[in-house]
Chains A and B, each alone.
Chain A
Amino acid sequence: MEPPPEPALTPRRLTVADLLRLRRPTTGASSLHFPSAPTTPSPPRKKSKLAAATAGPTPTSTSGTAPFAPISHPVLLSGTLSLPSEDAPAGCRSNCFSFSDPASSASASPAASVCCCLLDFDPAALGREIRVLAWNYLPSVRLHGAAGVLEVVRWRLAEEEEPAPAPKRSFLAKIRLNWPAQDPDLASRGCVFGLVRSVSVVFSMPQAKAEKRSASSIGFLAEILCCGCRRCQVSPPETAQDHKFEVIKFLYFVGSACTWRPLLVWLVGRLVYISGLKKKLVSVAEKGSHTMLVSSTNTAMAWCRSYRGNLPLDGSPEKCGGVYAGVVTGIYLQGLAVELDDTVWLLIDDLLLLPPHCLRVGAFISVKNFHAMRLNFAWTGTVLLATCSKTCLTVKSFSLVDSKSHIKAESKSLLGKFVDSLEMPSRFWMLLLISCFIQKFTKLFSDKEIWGSQNTSPLSGRLQLVDSTGCIDVIIPDLPPNGSLYGIYEIRNYKLALEGPVAYLDHCDVADPLSCKAIFQKLSYKKRVHHLNMYVILCWRELNPIGPSLHIPLHINYRARSFHLVKLSHIFPPNNVQQQNMSGPILYAEAVILPYNLQFIGQGECIEHAEAFRMSHSHLLDGTVLNERIVCEREHTSRILLEFKEGGFIKYQLLRINGYYLLQCPSGSLTCTTEGCGCLEGGKVSLDSQDKIWSIAITFDGNISIKGTIGNQSVRVTSAEVDEPFPRNIIRDELKLVQSWNDFYCNSYFHLDFSCEAMSTKMEEYNTVCHVLNQLRASSTEVLSVSSCIDIMMPKEASGSANLKTEEAVRGDLISVQGKVENIHSHACKRGTCMPANEKYSLCIHVADNNHTVRLHGFLSKHSFIVGMGPGATVTFHRVLLTQHELLLTPVTYIEVATVLKLVLDKSINHGKIPNVKVRLAGFILDDGSSLCCCWADDARAELLLRLQEVAHLDASVNLKLSKGGDSTKLQHTVGYCLEKLLKRHTCVIVKNCGIPPDFSCRDLDASSVLHKVLSRFEDKLLKFIILNACWNGTLNVIASVINPDDLNGFNVELPDFPVRNMQMLWIKEVFPVDPLEEARRLFGILETS
């Protein structure tokens, strides 16, 4: 059983009814600390990492607000998960489950329930009580309207299943459906066994006249690839191996069963056994009638947990198929047009296809079954994913950066009906057109309800109203002197003031006004009325305060002396955020707040010459004992987003995942704690060129590793010890702050060194610090090796030796993996599974450790391609998707190059024999980028220019003749050596170029022997090779002097008229390779003085 939590941390119980009272987007968790390994044998619910963490860095606002307010204490939310009720709105019925308070017999009123979306859904949870461990709640947009949506990030069953031994687990797991009287017998007459291929939208259909109740029936179709064998019809199958899933059958889930759609959507691609189906005759217009399987009150469903097959790919691209997973980077026209990964447009224009509530900017979604097409407009091209009635949208990771739910208009205008009648590409075009018209003709401001929080902007000094979409200045004539400025207020009555010349009203400028995104994007009013002063006038007494007050710091104070310790958990690749914001690019990283603060203590107010520093644990100040769990658990909960604005990019580039960093605390207080100062509560810290971030390195006698004996995990320390300051004069010998305060402030790192002697003599005193550091270090080994990856990907039985770490990761997780790059090549696209996209390349990267090689597939943007990531480099790939057979690069994948291997070639070449070749004369045409000149050389200079010292890389026929041994024992010869052998036979050869320089072709070369012997094919080839090899050379420095062409007469040289006759003739005195650095310095000096 789970040990009882700390008394102070007992989660408060929260009911669904409480949830419904929340008025702003909120996140909560049952514990603010998650143990690194589950202490109970709960079913493998996995991926806390994937959960809230993968929210893409695609905020729509830059106002500095966090859309979700975290509940600062642990809350326990438990309730019953069920299929949606029949009277739920159509959007919820199609996508959401229902989460309700456990029914209590004492209460007569119906239990409160809320729409719910789960990550890692498991049918076993249906109809049972679950504990929600981490969640986001979005209240309804309408203030007093319907209930909102609960997004469940982590959960587990309330009562644990008996851990049944593996072989006893049945092949098919029954799904509890909410039929009042369900026949438990799975073997009924109409049944199917197969793979769910697609699920239609919910639609209503008029029933035939024979049906007495003429009301239309509501339901949906599921397309199932069934096994046609007789055995399946007789009894529930025991295994999938003997069955072939080839026969397409359509199941019609009608009436009450139409609420099963969320379940069936989850089952797409999975193996199911459905029984208790009725066979009905349906007539399709005039075309005839077919038998169809229809759900009945006896319908029962079971699914196969162990099946790992793939859906066969559908034929032509015109057909609906394929899977695309990506991060939502924009939602426009009330959800009609959704932009994914900044490149692909998803068109959700089917009136019946209602997207899930969780489809928000920043969410990671998966789209199954669509038509993909490439659209080429005159000015731009894009990839369009057109949805159809078979399309399924599922959310794989919720967004934390956007709390705006985009609800589709349920009724269609005349224009909408017209758009429907168009072909798909024209439809997208029409939408672009409509968007242009809306922007052209709409009134500048419509009647809009504003609600947000007030804030005093540090920049303007003015009062501002801030919500997740932006901010606006406010003027409150009757503002009381003691009014709370940080509350959330509903404002119903306000006046909007615009000041400025009218001529500017229509002014709008966008970076790329013709991109699809710009056309869809309703330009923010602030942008539109660039030259206008705009503010809202409202009355204090008419404000309606809602929710708790919220302090959101916008900037970090400069004179801070107190620092928070954070550990970097992710760096978002820059490609995701390019051109997202009008205000310039912004880069993001995610960090975990560790409960330690660092404080510098100076004399009085002056900290310029700090005399001491201390590390304090934010939980210890109230007397709590430090223990291991606090450190680990906080790891997973207190996350902040670091935002690097333009000018702060250099800091972003210096960051390392799993590195520790110090952030300044804006409060000058020495007694502040992580919770007390509240400066990180906003969930986001913006860093611009002015703000600093320090990396922290702690060494022990100059060594990074900490000895095992120090920092014993069982050590119990009191707050007094850890909080004790380390004065500078004492620490000199024992605990050494390697640089002075001023250095610390100027540089970007903080280096603390403990001397070994001090460690042994003052063991007691430093135990705490060591303990803390050990904890920090222990939690930073989350990168898997290639072998561990392979262990996870292989079937379970093969991974007997897998360690704890690998068992934690489950297929489908985003993991970090490190290895040596063996090969990188572009990867051929399989139709339907990948999309061609601008600036993105489909790649396959082979990564290996000593034992195994694993392949990483996916798209990599040009911008996220790291220099140095070539074969031989040791590279860490963060956030790659672990699947059954391979690792996939995702849009949030971040690549870190650890070391670039320097390749030292050391081949045994027969250097012993210096080729005894004498080049009497060789003519070269040199190109220095400004002009051509004709240079002549002999002996060593000519040898260098002809590259006679290099190893001959002649392949196939040539090499066979050159070397006598087989392939493995092949001797490699220098070009000069080959030439020497040739000259033994011919004494002297002359090669002339009959072509016109600088163009060059081997066909223009004419080689002849002075002995008039015929040159063999190999000899001819060798000579051509030497010349070609010399021409295709790198850069060389040449020192030469002018000569008279007549001096060459003795050699019987024929110079072609053009262009050589006009060139300057030079005699080469010296040839040496270019030292690029030295040459660059020299050139820079010249350019600087010129």
Chain B
Amino acid sequence: MEPLHLVHVKILAADLLSLTVQQTSLPSFLRRGRTVTRAELVGIVVSRDRRDKFLRFLIDDGTGCVPCVLWLNHQYLNANASSELSDSDPTAEMALKMSEEVLLGTLLRVRGKIVMYRGAIQIAVRDVVLEKDPNVEVLHWLQCVRLAKECYDLPPPSAQGAI
């Protein structure tokens, strides 16, 4: 199993947006031949579009702008479950709380699944963390560089084994 499959790959917007897309039944994303499914970005919110069931926003990390969607429709998903279950599920409330942190001009760490929407790559947000120290941006860049060198750009372990 490809180990990168499970982790949130620390990545820059430009690299994320230039992932190779394999159009299978569920599109998969390749970085130098290795499948990635989740990503972590750090950048500034430059656009925000709040709708009933979701919040769309753009994260700009200086290399590009990544569209992100934060779903706020958990109560609909729980509609079939018993009311007791949905009442005791704080996900919707917390997602709503998270959406309030996404303000224009704020620095955020965003994690989520890489998905295709209307032919473009976007992030289906799992969580959003408001970053108060601007240095985290620099740290994120350095981590991206380091992980690319030491992990992502290396051939997967199985391939290494084959050689």
Nearest B residue to A1017, CB-CB: B88
Q: Do A1034 and B131 contact each other (CB < 8 Å), given the known contacts A862-B47, A870-B105, A1076-B138?
A: yes
Q: Across the interface, do B88 and A1080 meet the contact criterion of CB distance under 8 Å?
A: no
Return chain B residues, CB-CB under 8 Å to A1083: 139, 142-143, 146
B60-A870 in contact (CB<8A) = no
- A1086 contacts which of B47, B126, B146 (Cβ < 8 Å)? B146
**Given the complex, which residues of B lie within 8 Å of A1035, measured CB to CB?**
109, 136
Is B44 among interface residues, defined by CB-CB distance under 8 A?
yes
Could you tell me if A1031 and B147 are in contact, using CB atoms closer than 8 angstroms? Answer: no
> B78, B89, B127, B143: which contacts A929 (Cβ < 8 A)?
B143
Query: B54 → chain A, closest Cβ, in Å?
Result: 14
Which one, B10, B50, B129, B147, contacts A1034 given CB within 8 A? B129
Kindly list chain A residues whose C-beta atoms are within 8 Å of the C-beta of B143: 929, 1083
In Å, the complex CA distance between A1059 and B37 comes to 16
Flag whether A1033 is at the interface (Cβ < 8 A). yes
Q: Would you call A413 an interface residue if the criterion is a C-beta within 8 Å of the partner chain's C-beta atoms?
A: no
Looking at the complex, which one of A955, A1032, A1077 makes contact with B129 (CB distance below 8 Å)? Answer: A1032
User: Whose C-beta in chain B lies nearest to the C-beta of A1018?
Assistant: B88
Provide the main secondary structure of the chain A interface. Answer: mixed
A401 at the interface (CB under 8 A from B): no
Nearest chain B CB to A1013's CB is how many angstroms away? 16
Q: Bin the interface of chain A by size.
A: 35 or more
Annotate B93-124 by CB proximity to A: 1 below 8 A, 0 otherwise: 11001100001111001000000000000000
Known A-B contacts A867-B44, A930-B150, A1077-B135; A1017 and B10 likewise in contact (beta carbons under 8 Å): no
Residues of B within 8 A of A930 (CB): 3, 7, 147, 150-152
Given A862-B65, A1021-B89, A1034-B109, the answer on whether A1080 and B7 have CB atoms closer than 8 Å is: no
A1090 at the interface (CB under 8 A from B): yes
Q: Is B94 a contact partner of A1029 (Cβ separation < 8 A)?
A: yes
B91: CB under 8 A from chain A?
yes
Which chain A residues lie closer than 8 Å to B151 at the CB level? Answer: 929-930
A-side contacts of B94, CB under 8 Å: 1025, 1028-1029, 1032
- Taking CB atoms and an 8 Å cut-off, the chain B residues in 35-90 that contact chain A are 38, 40, 44, 46-50, 60, 65, 78, 81, 84-85, 87-90
State how many angstroms separate the Cβ of A525 from the closest Cβ of chain B.
36
A869 part of interface (Cβ distance < 8 Å) = yes
A1017, B105: Cβ atoms closer than 8 Å: no
Closest partner residue, chain B, to A1080 (CB atom): B139
Give, as a whole number of angstroms, the nearest-CB distance from A952 to chain B.
11
Give, as a whole number of angstroms, the nearest-CB distance from B131 to chain A: 7
Per the bound structure, the CA–CA distance linking A1074 and B84 in Å amounts to: 39
Q: Which of A870, A928, A1025 contacts B90 (CB 8 A)?
A: A1025
Q: Please indicate the chain A residues that have their CB under 8 angstroms from the CB of B60 in the complex.
A: 862
CB pair B88–A927 under 8 Å, yes or no, is no
**Judging by beta carbons under 8 Å apart, are A1080 and B104 in contact?**
no
A1080-B47 contact, Cβ under 8 Å, with A870-B104, A953-B97, A956-B93 = no
Verify if A837 is at the interface (C-beta below 8 Å from B): no
Q: Known: A1003-B81, A1032-B127, A1080-B138. Contact between A868 and B91, CB under 8 A? A: no
Measured CA separation A862–B3 after assembly (Å): 37
Q: Which residue of A lies closest to B94 (CB)?
A: A1028
B contact residues around A931 at 8 Å (CB): 3, 6-7
Partner of A1002, one of B46, B89, B135, B136: B89
A 272-295 contacts with B by CB, 8 A: none
In-complex Cβ contact of B6 among A866, A1059, A1087 (8 A): A1059
Q: Is there an interface contact between A1033 and B129, defined as CB atoms closer than 8 Å?
A: yes
User: Once the chains are docked, how many angstroms separate the CA of A1083 from the CA of B98?
Assistant: 30
Residues of A within 8 A of B133 (CB): 1076-1077
Q: Which of A890-943 contact B (CB under 8 A)?
A: 927-932
Contact of A825 with B by CB under 8 A: yes
Q: Nearest-CB distance from A900 to chain B (Å)?
A: 10
Collect the chain A residues with CB atoms within 8 Å of residue B3's CB: 930-932
Judge whether A1041 is part of the interface by a CB distance below 8 angstroms: no
Closest residue of chain A to B136 (Cβ to Cβ) is A1076
Contacting pair A841 B47 (CB below 8 A): yes
Q: Please give me the residue from chain A that is nearest to B107 by CB atom.
A: A867
Please determine whether B8 and A927 come into contact, CB atoms closer than 8 angstroms. Answer: yes
Q: Which residues of B from 121 to 163 have beta carbons under 8 Å from A?
A: 126-129, 131, 133, 135-136, 138-139, 142-143, 145-147, 149-152
Q: Which of B136, B149, B152 has the most CB of A within 10 A?
A: B136
CB interface residues, B 1-42, toward A, < 8 Å: 1, 3, 6-10, 38, 40
B88 → chain A closest CB, angstroms: 4
- A1028 in contact with B145 given A865-B105, A869-B105 (CB within 8 Å): no
Which residue of chain B has its CB nearest to the CB of A1058? B1
From known contacts A955-B97, A1032-B127, infer whether A1076 and B6 are also in contact, taking CB-CB under 8 Å. no
Write the nearest CB–CB distance from A276 to chain B, whole angstroms.
Answer: 54
Contact flag A826-B84 (CB < 8 Å), given A865-B105, A930-B151, A954-B93: no
A1020 touches B88 (CB 8 A): yes
- Whether A668 is near chain B, meaning CB under 8 Å from some CB there, is no
Q: Are A1003 and B105 in contact (CB under 8 A)?
A: no
Chain B residues within an 8 Å CB radius of A868: 105
Q: Residue among B40, B47, B78, B147 with the most chain A CB within 10 A?
A: B47
CB-CB under 8 A for A1090 and B149, given A867-B105, A870-B105, A998-B6: yes
**Does A504 have its Cβ within 8 Å of any Cβ on chain B?**
no
B149 to A929, Cβ gap below 8 A? no
Select the residue from A825, A1001, A1080, A1087 with max chain B CB neighbours within 10 A.
Answer: A1080
- In the assembled complex, which residues on chain B have CB atoms less than 8 Å from the CB atom of A1033? 127, 129
With an 8 A cutoff between CB atoms, is A1049 at the interface? no
A1031 to B98, CA, bound (A): 13
Given A865-B104, A1076-B135: A1017 in contact with B129 (beta carbons within 8 A): no
Which of B40, B48, B139 interacts with A1079 by CB under 8 Å? B139
Contact residues of A between 986 and 1002, Cβ < 8 Å to B? 997-998, 1000-1002
Q: How many angstroms from the CA of A1080 to the CA of B9 in the assembled complex?
A: 18
Chain A's closest residue to B130 (CB) is A1034
Closest CB of chain B to A320's CB: distance in Å?
30
Complex-state Cα separation, A865 to B59, whole angstroms? 13
Give chain A interface residues in 1069-1090, CB to chain B under 8 Å: 1074, 1076-1077, 1079-1080, 1083-1084, 1086-1087, 1090
Cβ of A1076 and Cβ of B139 under 8 Å apart?
A: yes
Q: Which residue of A lies closest to B152 (CB)?
A: A930
Question: A865's closest neighbor in chain B, by CB?
Answer: B46
Contacts of A1002 in B (CB 8 A): 89-91
Q: Which residues of A contact B44 (CB under 8 A)?
A: 867
Report whether B90 and A929 are in contact in the complex, using a CB–CB cutoff of 8 Å. Answer: no
Contacts of B50 in A (CB 8 A): 826
Complex contacts, A1017 vs chain B, CB 8 Å: 84, 87-88
Cβ–Cβ < 8 Å partners of B152 in chain A? 930
Question: In the complex, A1028 Cα to B94 Cα: how many Å?
Answer: 8
Residue of B whose beta carbon sits closest to that of A845: B104
Contact B7 A929 (CB under 8 A): yes
Instruction: Please list 28 pairs of residues, one from A and one from B, whose beta carbons are closer than 8 Å in the complex, sorted by A's number.
Output: A824-B105, A825-B48, A843-B104, A862-B46, A862-B65, A866-B105, A867-B105, A868-B105, A870-B103, A870-B104, A953-B97, A955-B93, A958-B90, A1017-B84, A1021-B89, A1021-B90, A1024-B88, A1028-B90, A1028-B94, A1031-B127, A1033-B127, A1033-B129, A1074-B136, A1076-B133, A1077-B135, A1083-B146, A1084-B142, A1090-B149
Beyond the given pairs A1024-B90, A1087-B146, 16 more chain A to chain B contacts, judged by CB atoms under 8 angstroms and listed by A's residue number, are A824-B103, A825-B48, A826-B49, A826-B50, A841-B47, A870-B103, A929-B151, A930-B3, A1024-B89, A1032-B126, A1032-B127, A1074-B139, A1077-B133, A1080-B138, A1080-B139, A1087-B142
Give the 7 A-B residue pairs with the shortest CB-CB distance, closest first.
Answer: A1032-B127, A1076-B135, A870-B105, A929-B10, A1080-B139, A1020-B88, A930-B151
Q: B-side interface residues toward A, CB under 8 Å?
A: 1, 3, 6-10, 38, 40, 44, 46-50, 60, 65, 78, 81, 84-85, 87-91, 93-94, 97-98, 103-106, 109, 126-129, 131, 133, 135-136, 138-139, 142-143, 145-147, 149-152
